[in-house]
Amino acid sequence: MIQLNVNGTTRSLDIDPEMPLLWVLREYIGLTGTKFGCGIAQCGSCTVHIDGEPVRSCSTPVSAVIGKHVTTIEGLNSPTGKAVQAAWRDLEVVQCGYCQSGQIMSAVALLAHKERPTDAEIDAAMQGNLCRCATYVRIRAAIKAASKQPV
């Protein structure tokens, strides 16, 4: 049995400790907002927070997060999280939407460290999150809007 704290709830799961956190979240807990894109930490679609830090859940064995706090898009309720989601809505960032959970999780983690990131800091922090729809112009703008900077 593995004890897992996800979005503030602790669960006991009978799963292989080597299973990537992504698949545990999606298929054993039913939190499907976190997405599978590449399986090798190259696209960022699977980004979640572990103790507040952005982590690629596709390449993180579930055993590595025992005793830690996992936050997924469904559990994002910090003021920064809400501000980022509101900016994403106001600036109509999404297109297909598949990568956006990961984009938002990375953006929230960035703003937790850096209240008012520059363009270069945004690019550096968001560089691991691919968007094939290329919504990048609006991602940049939405991060600035969420951090109360002129867009």
DSSP H or E stretch at residue 6: strand 2-6
User: Exposed (0-12), middle (13-18) or buried (19+): which is 3, by Cβ within 10 Å?
Assistant: exposed
Residues contacting residue 116 through CB under 8 Å, at least 6 positions apart: 147, 148, 149
Q: Is 13 helix (H, G, I), strand (E, B) or coil?
A: strand
d(CA 116, CA 65): 30
Q: Is 36 in the site for other proteins (CB under 8 A)?
A: yes
Q: How far is the CB of 129 from other proteins (least distance, A)?
A: 7
Q: Is 89 in the site for other proteins (CB under 8 A)?
A: yes
Point out which span in 1-9, 41-49, 63-71, 110-118 binds other proteins (CB under 8 A): 41-49
Q: Is 72 in the site for other proteins (CB under 8 A)?
A: yes
Q: Is 101 in the site for other proteins (CB under 8 A)?
A: yes
150: its two tokens: 């002129």
The bridge status of strand 47-50 relative to strand 69-71 is antiparallel
Point out which span in 1-9, 49-57, 82-90, 109-117 binds other proteins (CB under 8 A): 82-90
Q: Is 121 in the site for other proteins (CB under 8 A)?
A: no
Q: Is 35 in the site for other proteins (CB under 8 A)?
A: yes
Site residues (CB under 8 A) for other proteins? 16, 19-20, 23, 26-28, 30-40, 42-43, 45, 72-74, 76, 85, 88-89, 92-101, 104, 122-124, 126-127, 129-140
